């Protein structure tokens, strides 16, 4: 028998030792021995140890400075073994769990569960502590001895709180967030839905500062317009979307491990979403190589759970109402007064007969105002839209096979009449597991119908309020005003065109089948093969009646039009990868991923336009007279191909020091033949400071991590044939040899990939039992070279060519703060306040004069304020500085580049007078939970940016004779100069004087908006069981309820913005 005193004596006489042993008994169960020899040899040390420790089974010694060894002894008096076997299952789903780490404390025994979730432990009889750990689950610790083995036969592990937030899902592999060096944010499906039920994208913009959806000033809340999305700013030259039909600043979307498009994500029913992860920096996105420069959005849908058949229903119901608070139009009497001051009723030639006509016209309009006519045209095309979305899902199965069958229907009525978007989707999910193999298949079938109004909202906003909507008979006149002479144009009645047999509609049918096969070779090694096919066919039809006012000046054979187009897209992609992950010696965690990926996308488009219809009701193409002059059916096709292989390595030492390395080689058909392949890479490092010994094991920090990364992801969101010289047949000039060909687009074999070198330094902090959470990222993005469309000289024979031009540098900072003043989970109460913020600034470099044609086009444009110069910002506002309106003359005084003043406008005096990028923007939110009840409120703020107020430029000034017959902004009457000596912001009222772009129309914009409010209740089990349910949740939301801004300008020109109130129900039977 060896006591502690004997060990100390042995250490002092023979060596310096470190023993780990059992102090609970006089008997000792040695596990690990480390010792350093002093004056005696290794042989003597072994002899003494062998004599004293008679139960030693293994020793190792070495002459020199040190000796190390693992020494295991049986408890004195007992050499019996015990074997414990069991299975680990998920508490919520009942599924067996693969790869659960099981460790016996105080020993070197460690194992993991196999493909069936089973494990086995063989130990000497005694008392032990066994720890079960798995990513995203609560750590489980149990006491084990020979008399308490029954509870180990089935070990149940519960998901940790906010488990999804603890795992980073990249779409190719999963990594525990604590050991991940990249910048990523993950949100669960219920968390997204609490923000609103519109779609996933609208919720993400509230929850994460890096994810921004720009307000569409032109089309507002049009349900058929896809949003303009950016992650950490734009990395490509703005305007290429119009050139190529694709948005080069759009992030990459991954749905259940496969690439998808923006429309699919926008239409995805939120009840199908399990989690969404935003990958932001190089370390997290580089696995996607040359497609990831704009960030990656990874979406995981709900997977079927095993067990008895479960049926769930989730429904969302919303009311949408137009938001017209930013409109500031004149009423009837104000408009007539403005027309008088503008000289509309004064004949400049002193013709008495014409003056008499103008007097009568003014008097008739004044009589109408006296009769109470003050028509509010803005309400005419609007309605309260009703939105409904339904999702039914049936799931069940056994250990080997699981199934899920879902049906989703959505009908979105826009706030404008004839505006709608209907979706119908069915999905079949199958998971089959046998032995070491697992097969899963997701089949989705989608159908979409869209409809848009032919008459835009702006046409109603322009109608003068002194006009009546209907005539004396209750009918609708074609024109609101018909002049007596040919000098003026008649004013169309928007109600006339809206009631004709016009339409703008489309439909789309598609299916997607994604198949995944996995082989779990060992608990550490896994191979995966993926193959997906997507096919869609979309049609679009636009018809204008021959009675439409646009055709009044045309001949009968040209009146009316019908346009039809069909677009078919077929895409397939595949991926083969091998994943290896293992923990060595309890401190070395190694993760490796290697794979190969390929994709092919083929699309065709054909269409035609027919004109000349004799009747309003007969709109079929067979009733047309023919094609427009020079017109004929069109057809185009495109093919893009890409292939790549990738490697990812992750290493963590004792979960303290972290390293991630990525390498990928991509090939793509859309770039020049000299640059078909490109290498992308990234390196990320991290340090979990809270794991360090010098932190003293304090409970103050649950997480304190520093991380940094650098890499060069790329961008493939460009046209398929931008680098190719393409030809078109010269069918109208044939000869004996057949049709000739003409160059339609000039290729560029030297066109390089657009690269973005991305640097990020960040920190993640969780303190006070997760009451305080902070995430801060500082980043720098260098896009070099940029890709731009350069205008070519007329002698070349084509208008433009794609070229590389200069670079763009972006510096930014993002931060998220979350504080829980009340945090008592045992009592089910929590109150949290959150704040996220972002700020960044971009500028161009090395452009020179390569984009001078774009600058000249911007100068010639009525409202173009973007320029491309070295040192300039992509969001800068360029205009000539203004000193204001001269009180004496009413003329505008300009400031030249040299600082002198002049009444003459010179476009060469343009400088930067503002920037549309806010200095700081983000969301302030608060949430409260109490025993099933929840409440949340989120407010968006924007500080420090400027805008060019086009409303002032076009509807206060620049009103000419063609505009005077339409309604204008109220400030055109009250805020313009009228008499000498008057200080005014705007020039005097004139119908002939042109106003140029100047800093007078640039305004500081600070906004504060109520973005999301929600209240919900999750019913308790005793109640819902009485009504035959397993869960029931009710929720109400309000979105975009108010917006306060320092700028008064019309928003939603052709389609207004909307406020939304919604109600949701989720029931599982």
Distance of CA 29 to the CA centre of its chain: 57
Please say whether the beta carbons of 573 and 598 come within 8 A: yes
Last residue of a domain, one of 125, 140, 157: 157
Q: Is the dihedral of CA 616, 617, 619, 620 positive or negative?
A: negative
Q: Can you give the pLDDT at residue 206? A: 96
Which structural domain range is residue 100 located in?
Answer: 81-157
Contact by Cβ (8 Å): 685, 619: no
Does residue 58 register a pLDDT over 80?
no
991 pLDDT exceeds 80?
no
623 burial via Cβ count (<10 Å: 0-12, 13-18, 19+): middle
Rounded to an integer, what distance in angstroms lies between the CA atom of residue 997 and that of residue 714?
37
CA atoms within 13 A on the CB side of 336: 19
Binned at pLDDT 50, 70 and 90, residue 242 comes out as very low
Find out whether 791 and 833 touch, Cβ atoms under 8 Å: no
Q: Is residue 277 within 8 Å of 185, Cβ to Cβ?
A: yes
C-alpha–C-alpha distance, residues 970 and 328, integer Å = 6
Query: ∠ CA 594-600-605 to the nearest 5 degrees?
Result: 155
C-alpha 597/C-alpha 288 separation (Å) is 10
pLDDT at 42 over 50: no
Residues 47 and 90 in one domain: no
Q: What is the mean pLDDT of residues 461-479?
A: 95
pLDDT, tens digit, for every residue of 666-694?
998 877 777 788 899 999 999 999 988 88
CA distance 310 to 1030: 9
Number of helices (H), then strands (E), belonging to the chain: the values are 15, 52
Compute the mean pLDDT over every residue in the chain, rounded to the nearest whole number.
Answer: 87
- Which among 70, 89, 119 is the end of a domain? 70
What is the tally of structural domains in the chain? Answer: 2
Q: What is the mean pLDDT of residues 874-886?
A: 95
Question: Nearest 5°: CA angle at 907, between 901 and 913?
Answer: 70
Classify residue 119: in a domain, yes or no. yes
What is the structure's pLDDT at 856? Answer: 84
| Residue 105 CB burial class (10 angstroms; 0-12, 13-18, ≥19) | exposed
pLDDT computed for residue 900 by the predictor: 96
Q: Decide: helix, strand or coil at residue 344.
A: coil
Residue-wise pLDDT tens digits, 818-850: 999 998 877 889 999 999 999 999 999 998 887
Is residue 100 assigned to a domain?
yes
Q: What is the DSSP string of 608-667?
A: EEEE--S-SS--SGGG--BPPTT---EEEEEEEEEEEEEEEEEEEETTTEEEEEEEEEEE
What is the distance of C-alpha 951 from the center of its chain? 30
* Chain CA centroid to CA 815, Å: 18
For residue 61, being part of any structural domain is answered with: yes
For residue 873, what pLDDT is reported?
A: 94
Of 427, 418, 407, 416, residue with least CA distance to 450: 418
pLDDT digits (tens, 9 = 90+) for 174-205: 888 888 999 999 999 999 999 999 999 999 99
Beta strand residue intervals within 846-1001, DSSP E = 876-885, 892-895, 901-902, 910-915, 920-930, 933-948
Tell me whether residue 306 is exposed, middle or buried, using C-beta atoms within 10 angstroms of its C-beta: 0 to 12, 13 to 18, 19 or more.
buried
What radius of gyration do the chain's Cα atoms show? 36
Q: Does residue 48 share a domain with residue 85? A: no
Indicate if the pLDDT at residue 52 is higher than 50.
no
Reply yes or no on whether the pLDDT at 817 is more than 70.
Answer: yes
Q: What is the pLDDT of residue 1041?
A: 96
CA dihedral 144, 146, 147, 151 (to 10 degrees): 40
More confident residue, 371 or 30: 371
Q: Residue 651 above 90 pLDDT?
A: yes
List phi, psi (to 5°) of 234: -95, 140
Q: Which residues of 119-132 are buried (b: 16+ CB within 10 A; e: fewer)?
A: bebebbebebebeb
Q: Give the CA distances from residue 744 to residues 468, 738, 749, 798, in Å, rounded to whole numbers and listed in that order.
A: 51, 19, 16, 7
For residue 837, give the 3-state DSSP assignment: strand
Distance between CA atoms of residues 201 and 204, nearest Å: 5
374 Cβ neighbours under 8 A, 6+ residues apart: 331, 332, 333, 465, 466
The CA distance from 26 to 8, in Å, is: 15
State mean pLDDT over 365-379.
96
For a pLDDT cut of 90, what percent of the chain falls above it?
62
pLDDT in tens, 124-181: 888 888 989 887 777 788 888 877 777 888 899 887 655 444 778 888 888 888 889 9
Taking only the tens place, the pLDDT of each residue in 580-607 is: 999 888 889 999 999 999 999 999 999 9
Q: How confident is the model at residue 239 (pLDDT cuts 50, 70, 90)?
A: low
CA dihedral 289, 290, 295, 296 (to 10 degrees): -60
User: What does the pLDDT average to over 279-296?
Assistant: 92
- The residue among 160, 166, 29 whose CA lies nearest residue 105 is 29
Neighbours of 352 (CB within 10 A): 8
Alpha carbons 1004 and 203: distance in angstroms, whole number:
27
Lowest mean pLDDT, pick from 171-185, 256-270, 1016-1030: 1016-1030
Same domain membership, residue 88 and residue 60: no
CA count, 13 A, side-chain hemisphere, 1009: 24
Whole-structure pTM value:
0.85
pLDDT of amino acid 838 = 98
226 has a pLDDT exceeding 90: yes
- Nearest Cα neighbor of 865 from 1001, 968, 986, 956 is 1001
**Does residue 86 sit in the same domain as residue 50?**
no
Q: How many CB atoms lie within 10 A of CB 350?
A: 8
Q: What is residue 238's DSSP assignment?
A: T
What confidence tier does 79 reach under pLDDT thresholds 50, 70, 90?
low
**What tens digit of pLDDT does each residue of 736-761 get?**
777 778 777 778 888 888 889 999 99
Which residue, 49, 70, 91, sits at the end of a domain? Answer: 70
SS3 833: strand
Q: Is the confidence at residue 2, as pLDDT, over 60? A: no
**CATH code where residue 119 lies:** 2.60.40.1120
Residue 140, domain member (yes or no) = yes
Distance CA 459, CA 462 (A): 5
| Residues contacting 232, CB < 8 A, separation 6+ | 210, 280, 295, 779, 781, 810, 812, 814, 840
Question: Which residues lie closer than 8 Å to 201 by C-beta, 6 or more apart?
Answer: 213, 227, 229, 265, 266
**Helix ranges restricted to H, 55-140:** none
Residue-level length of the chain: 1069
Answer yes or no: do 98 and 123 share one domain. yes
Report the first-to-last Cα separation within the chain, whole angstroms: 64
Q: Is residue 28 part of a domain?
A: yes
Asked which of 351-365, 601-615, 1021-1035 is least confident by mean pLDDT, the reply is 1021-1035
Residue 479 burial by Cβ neighbours in a 10 Å radius (0-12, 13-18, 19+): middle
pLDDT for 78 equals 46
Mean pLDDT of the 611-632 span: 89
The answer to whether 535 touches 569, Cβ cutoff 8 Å, is yes
**Rounded Cα gap, residues 664 and 282, in angstroms:** 12
pLDDT at 28 over 50: no
Q: Has residue 492 been placed in a domain?
A: no
Beta-bridge partner residues of 424: 409, 447
Examine residue 509 and state whether it is found in any structural domain, yes or no: no
Cα→Cα distances 787→239, 641, 790, 1010, Å = 11, 19, 9, 38
Is 50 exceeded by the pLDDT of residue 566?
Answer: yes
| Confidence at residue 794, expressed as pLDDT on a 0 to 100 scale | 65
* DSSP H or E run through 189: helix 189-195
d(CA 884, CA 886): 6
Tell me the average pLDDT across 1036-1050: 96
On the 0-12 / 13-18 / 19+ scale of CB atoms within 10 A, 740 is: middle
User: Do 87 and 108 lie in a common domain?
Assistant: yes
Give pLDDT, residue 1024. 78
Which burial class, exposed, middle or buried, applies to 756 when counting CB atoms under 10 A from its CB (0-12, 13-18, 19+)?
buried
């Amino acid at each position: 028998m060896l006591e502690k005193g004997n060990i100390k004596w042995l250490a002092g006489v023979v060596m310096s030792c470190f023993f780990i042993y059992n102090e609970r008994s006089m008997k000792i169960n040695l596990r690990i021995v480390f010792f350093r020899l002093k004056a005696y040899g290794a042989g003597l040390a072994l002899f003494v140890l062998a004599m004293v420790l008679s139960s030693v089974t293994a020793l190792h010694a070495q002459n020199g400075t040190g000796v190390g060894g693992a020494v295991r002894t049986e408890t004195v008096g007992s050499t019996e073994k015990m074997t414990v076997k069991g299975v680990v299952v998920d508490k919520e789903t009942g599924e067996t769990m693969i790869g659960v780490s099981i460790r016996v404390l105080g020993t070197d025994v460690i194992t993991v569960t196999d493909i069936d979730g089973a494990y086995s432990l063989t130990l000497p009889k005694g008392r032990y502590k066994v720890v079960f750990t798995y990513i995203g689950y609560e750590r489980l610790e149990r006491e084990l001895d020979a008399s308490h083995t029954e509870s180990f036969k089935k070990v149940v592990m519960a998901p940790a709180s906010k488990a999804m937030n603890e795992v980073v899902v990249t779409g190719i592999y999963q990594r525990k967030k604590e050991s991940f060096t990249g910048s990523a944010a993950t949100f669960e499906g219920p968390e997204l839905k609490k923000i609103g039920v519109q779609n996933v994208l609208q919720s993400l913009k509230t929850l994460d500062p890096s994810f921004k959806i720009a307000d569409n000033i032109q089309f507002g809340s049009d349900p058929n317009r896809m949003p303009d999305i950016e992650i950490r700013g734009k990395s490509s030259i703005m305007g290429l979307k119009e050139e190529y039909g694709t948005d080069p600043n759009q992030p990459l979307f991954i749905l259940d491990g496969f690439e998808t498009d923006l429309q699919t994500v926008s239409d995805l029913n939120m009840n199908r979403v399990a989690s969404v992860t935003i990958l932001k920096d190089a370390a997290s996105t580089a696995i996607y190589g040359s497609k990831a420069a704009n960030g990656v959005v990874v979406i995981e849908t709900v997977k079927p759970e095993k067990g008895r058949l479960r049926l769930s229903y989730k429904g969302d119901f919303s009311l949408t109402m137009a938001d017209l608070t930013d409109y500031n139009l004149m009423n009837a009497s104000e408009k007539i007064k403005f027309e008088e001051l503008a000289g509309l009723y004064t004949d400049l030639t002193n013709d008495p007969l014409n003056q008499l006509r103008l007097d009568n016209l003014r008097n008739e309009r004044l009589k109408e105002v006296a009769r109470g006519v003050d028509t509010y045209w803005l309400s005419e095309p609007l309605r309260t839209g009703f939105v409904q979305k339904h999702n039914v899902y049936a799931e069940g199965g056994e250990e080997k096979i699981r199934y899920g069958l879902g049906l989703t229907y959505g009908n979105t009525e826009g706030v404008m009449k004839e505006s709608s978007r209907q979706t119908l989707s069915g999905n079949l999910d199958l998971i089959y597991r046998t032995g070491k193999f697992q097969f899963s298949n997701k089949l989705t079938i989608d159908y979409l119908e869209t409809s848009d109004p032919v008459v835009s909202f702006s046409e109603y906003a322009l109608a003068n309020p002194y006009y009546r909507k209907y005539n004396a008979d209750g009918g609708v006149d074609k024109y609101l005003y018909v002049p007596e002479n040919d000098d003026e144009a008649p004013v169309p009645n928007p109600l006339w065109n809206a009631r004709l047999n016009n339409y703008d509609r489309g439909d789309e049918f598609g299916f997607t089948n994604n198949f995944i096969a996995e082989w779990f070779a060992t608990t550490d090694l896994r191979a995966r093969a993926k193959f997906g096919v997507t096919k869609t066919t979309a049609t679009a039809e636009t018809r204008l009646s021959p009675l439409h006012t646009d055709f009044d000046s045309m001949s009968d054979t040209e009146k009316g039009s019908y346009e039809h187009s069909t677009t078919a897209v077929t895409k397939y992609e595949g991926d083969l990868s091998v994943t290896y992950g293992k923990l060595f010696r309890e401190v070395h965690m190694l993760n490796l991923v290697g794979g190969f990926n390929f994709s092919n996308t083929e699309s065709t488009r054909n269409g035609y336009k027919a004109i000349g219809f004799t009747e309003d009701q007969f709109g079929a193409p067979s009733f047309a007279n023919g094609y427009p002059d020079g017109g004929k059916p069109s057809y185009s096709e495109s093919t893009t191909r890409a292939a790549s292989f990738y490697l990812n390595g992750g290493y963590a030492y004792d979960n303290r020091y972290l390293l991630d390395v990525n390498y990928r080689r991509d090939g793509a058909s859309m770039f020049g033949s000299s640059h078909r392949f490109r290498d992308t890479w990234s390196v990320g490092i991290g340090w979990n400071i809270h794991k360090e010994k010098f932190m003293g094991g304090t409970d103050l920090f649950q997480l304190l991590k520093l991380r940094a990364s650098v890499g060069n992801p790329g961008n493939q969101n460009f046209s398929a044939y931008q680098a190719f010289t393409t030809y078109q047949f010269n069918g109208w000039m044939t000869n004996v040899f057949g049709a000739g060909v003409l160059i339609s687009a000039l290729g560029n074999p030297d066109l390089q990939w657009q690269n973005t070198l991305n640097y990020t330094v960040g920190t993640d902090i969780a303190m006070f039992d997760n009451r305080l959470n902070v995430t801060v990222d500082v980043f720098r993005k260098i896009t070099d070279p940029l890709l731009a469309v350069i205008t070519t000289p007329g002698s070349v024979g084509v208008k433009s060519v794609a070229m590389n031009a200069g670079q763009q540098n972006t510096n930014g900072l993002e931060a998220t703060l979350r504080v829980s003043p009340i945090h008592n989970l045992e009592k089910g109460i929590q109150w949290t306040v959150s704040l996220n913020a972002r700020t960044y600034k971009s500028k161009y470099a090395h452009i020179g004069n390569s984009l001078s044609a774009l600058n000249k086009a911007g100068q010639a444009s009525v409202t173009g304020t973007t320029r491309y110069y070295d040192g300039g910002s992509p969001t800068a506002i360029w205009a000539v500085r203004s000193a204001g309106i001269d009180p004496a003359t009413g003329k505008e005084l300009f400031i030249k580049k040299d600082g002198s003043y002049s009444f003459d406008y010179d476009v060469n005096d343009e400088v930067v007078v503002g920037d549309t990028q806010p200095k700081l923007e983000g969301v302030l939110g608060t949430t409260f939970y109490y025993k099933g009840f929840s409440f949340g409120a989120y407010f968006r703020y924007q500080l420090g940016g400027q805008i060019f107020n086009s409303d002032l430029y076009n509807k206060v000034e620049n009103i000419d004779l063609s505009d005077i017959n339409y309604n204008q902004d109220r400030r055109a009457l009250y805020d313009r100069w009228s008499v000498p000596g008057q200080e005014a912001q705007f020039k005097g009222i004139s119908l002939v004087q042109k106003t140029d772009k100047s800093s007078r129309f640039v305004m500081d914009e600070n906004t504060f908006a109520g973005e999301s409010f929600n209240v919900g209740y999750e019913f308790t089990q005793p109640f819902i069981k009485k009504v035959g349910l397993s869960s029931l949740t009710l929720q109400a939301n309000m979105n975009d309820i108010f917006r306060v801004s320092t700028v008064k300008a019309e928003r939603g020109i052709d389609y207004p913005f909307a406020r939304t109130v919604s109600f949701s129900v989720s029931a599982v039977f």
